[in-house]
Structure 1
Amino acid sequence: MTEDNAALEGSTTRAPTVGSRRAVWVLALACAAQFMVVLDVSVVNVALPSIRSSLGFTPADLSWVVNAYGLAFAGLLLLGGRLADVLGYRRSFVLGLALFSGASLVGGLAASPGALVAARAAQGAGAALLAPATLTVLTGTFPEGPSRTRALATWTAVGVAGGATGNLIGGALTEYLSWRWILLVNVPVGAMGALAGVRLLPGKRDGGSRPRPDVAGATLATAGIAALTFALARVEARGWSDALTVGVMTVGLLTLMVFAWVEARVARTPLVPPHLLRIRSVGVGNLILLLTGACLVPMWYFLSLYMQQVMHYGPLQTAVGFLPHTLVTMVVSARLAPRLMEHADPRTLIVTSAVVSAAGFWWQSRISTDSGYIDGILGPALAISIGTGLLLTPITTAVTSDVAPADAGAASGLMNATKQVGGALGLAGLSTLAATDVAGAQALTAGYARAFLAIATVLALTAVIALALPHRPAKTD
Structure 2
Amino acid sequence: MPKIAGTPARTAPTPDPGRWKALVFIALAQLMVVLDATIVNIALPSAQQDLGISDGNRQWVITAYALAFGGLLLFGGRIADLWGRKRTFVVGLAGFAAASALGGAATGEATMLGARALQGAFGALLAPAALSLLAVTFTDAKERAKAFGIYGAIAGGGGAVGLILGGFLTEYLNWRWTFFVNIPFAVVAAVGAYLVVREPADGRNRSPLDVPGVILSTLGLVALVYGFTRAESEGWSDAGTVGLFVGSAVLLAAFVLTEARVKSPLLPLRVLTDRNRGGVYLSLGLAVIAMFGLFLFLTYYLQIVKGYSPVRTGFAFLPMIAGMIVGSTQIGTRLMTRVPPRLLMAPGFLTAAVGMLLLTQLEIGTSYTGLILPAQLLLGLGMGTAFMPAMSLATHGVDPRDAGVASAMVNTSQQVGGAIGTALLNTIAASATTAYLADHAAGATTPAAQKLLQLQGMVEGYAAAIWWAVGILAVSAAIAFALINTGKPEGGVVAGSGTGADDEVRIPVVAH
TM-score class, shorter = 0.7 to 0.9
Per the normalisation by structure 1, the TM-score is: 0.82
| 280-289 or 232-241, which deviates more | 232-241
Q: Which has the higher contact order (CA 8 A, sep 6+)?
A: 2
Query: What 5-or-longer segments of structure 1 have no aligned partner?
Result: 1-16
Q: Secondary structure at the match of 2:228?
A: helix
Partner Cα separation in structure 2 for residue 351 and residue 60 of structure 1:
40
Query: 5 Å matches for 1:407-422?
Result: 407-422=402-417
The answer to whether the aligner puts 1:73 opposite 2:69 as a matched pair is yes
Partner Cα separation in structure 2 for residue 325 and residue 278 of structure 1:
33
Given that residues 324 and 382 in structure 1 are in contact (C-alpha distance below 8 angstroms), is that contact kept between their aligned partners in structure 2? yes
Alignment partner of 1:303 out of 290, 298, 302 = 298
Q: Quote the residue 2:461 is aligned against.
A: 447
Partner Cα separation in structure 2 for residue 71 and residue 473 of structure 1:
36
Partner Cα separation in structure 2 for residue 403 and residue 88 of structure 1:
17
Q: Quote the residue 2:495 is aligned against.
A: none
Q: Quote the residue 2:221 is aligned against.
A: 225
Q: Secondary structure at the match of 2:208?
A: coil
Partner Cα separation in structure 1 for residue 276 and residue 16 of structure 2:
34
Q: Quote the residue 1:283 is aligned against.
A: 278
- CA shift, 1:192, in A, is 6.3
Partner Cα separation in structure 1 for residue 389 and residue 199 of structure 2:
36
Query: 5 Å matches for 1:136-151?
Result: 144=139
Alignment partner of 2:168 out of 162, 169, 172 = 172
Alignment partner of 1:468 out of 482, 488, 494 = 482
Partner Cα separation in structure 2 for residue 139 and residue 388 of structure 1:
21
Given that residues 47 and 179 in structure 1 are in contact (C-alpha distance below 8 angstroms), is that contact kept between their aligned partners in structure 2? yes
Q: Quote the residue 2:324 is aligned against.
A: 329
Query: 5 Å matches for 1:62-461?
Result: 64-88=60-84, 91-111=87-107, 115-134=111-130, 144=139, 152=147, 156=151, 159-160=154-155, 162-163=158-159, 165-187=161-183, 189-190=185-186, 210-266=206-262, 268-341=263-336, 344-396=339-391, 400-405=395-400, 407-435=402-430, 440-461=454-475
Q: Quote the residue 2:39 is aligned against.
A: 43
Partner Cα separation in structure 2 for residue 473 and residue 28 of structure 1:
29
Q: 1:393 to 1:236 in 2, by over 3 A?
A: closer
Q: 1:460 to 1:129 in 2, by over 3 A?
A: same
Given that residues 42 and 163 in structure 2 are in contact (C-alpha distance below 8 angstroms), is that contact kept between their aligned partners in structure 1? yes
- CA shift, 1:320, in A, is 0.5
- CA shift, 1:470, in A, is 4.4
The aligned amino acid for 1:446 is E
Q: 1:257 to 1:443 in 2, by over 3 A?
A: same
Given that residues 67 and 427 in structure 1 are in contact (C-alpha distance below 8 angstroms), is that contact kept between their aligned partners in structure 2? no
Partner Cα separation in structure 2 for residue 18 and residue 37 of structure 1:
25
The aligned amino acid for 1:40 is D
Given that residues 148 and 391 in structure 2 are in contact (C-alpha distance below 8 angstroms), is that contact kept between their aligned partners in structure 1? no
Q: 1:369 to 1:139 in 2, by over 3 A?
A: closer
Deviations, residues 201-254 of structure 1 (Å, cap 9, x unaligned): 899956755233334323322322222232333334433332222222221221
Given that residues 40 and 166 in structure 1 are in contact (C-alpha distance below 8 angstroms), is that contact kept between their aligned partners in structure 2? yes
Q: Secondary structure at the match of 1:296?
A: helix
- CA shift, 1:342, in A, is 5.5
- CA shift, 1:54, in A, is 4.8
| 339-348 or 456-465, which deviates more | 339-348
Q: 1:246 to 1:30 in 2, by over 3 A?
A: closer
The aligned amino acid for 1:95 is V
Partner Cα separation in structure 1 for residue 26 and residue 380 of structure 2:
27
| 387-396 or 336-345, which deviates more | 336-345
Q: 1:90 to 1:241 in 2, by over 3 A?
A: closer
Deviations, residues 318-342 of structure 1 (Å, cap 9, x unaligned): 1110000001111111101233446
Given that residues 89 and 202 in structure 1 are in contact (C-alpha distance below 8 angstroms), is that contact kept between their aligned partners in structure 2? no
Partner Cα separation in structure 2 for residue 434 and residue 59 of structure 1:
20
| 77-86 or 191-200, which deviates more | 191-200
Q: Secondary structure at the match of 1:468?
A: helix
Q: Quote the residue 1:6 is aligned against.
A: none
Partner Cα separation in structure 1 for residue 115 and residue 142 of structure 2:
38
Query: 5 Å matches for 1:8-47?
Result: 19=17, 29-47=25-43
> How much is the aligned-residue C-alpha RMSD, in angstroms?
3.7
Partner Cα separation in structure 1 for residue 110 and residue 360 of structure 2:
33
Query: What 5-or-longer segments of structure 2 have no aligned partner?
Result: 1-14, 438-450, 492-512
| 239-248 or 156-165, which deviates more | 156-165
Deviations, residues 374-425 of structure 1 (Å, cap 9, x unaligned): 2452132122122212211333455554545554443332222212221122
Deviations, residues 232-290 of structure 1 (Å, cap 9, x unaligned): 33334433332222222221221222222222223x33232112322222223321112
Partner Cα separation in structure 2 for residue 47 and residue 174 of structure 1:
6
Partner Cα separation in structure 1 for residue 79 and residue 396 of structure 2:
25
Partner Cα separation in structure 1 for residue 209 and residue 254 of structure 2:
18
Given that residues 96 and 122 in structure 2 are in contact (C-alpha distance below 8 angstroms), is that contact kept between their aligned partners in structure 1? yes
Partner Cα separation in structure 2 for residue 30 and residue 455 of structure 1:
31
Given that residues 152 and 384 in structure 2 are in contact (C-alpha distance below 8 angstroms), is that contact kept between their aligned partners in structure 1? no
Q: Percent identity?
A: 38
- CA shift, 1:183, in A, is 0.5
Partner Cα separation in structure 2 for residue 25 and residue 463 of structure 1:
34
Q: Secondary structure at the match of 1:466?
A: helix
Per the normalisation by structure 2, the TM-score is: 0.77
| 109-118 or 78-87, which deviates more | 109-118
Q: 1:289 to 1:334 in 2, by over 3 A?
A: same
Q: 1:318 to 1:193 in 2, by over 3 A?
A: same
Q: 1:62 to 1:195 in 2, by over 3 A?
A: same
Deviations, residues 337-364 of structure 1 (Å, cap 9, x unaligned): 2334466432233222222222221221
Partner Cα separation in structure 1 for residue 194 and residue 477 of structure 2:
46
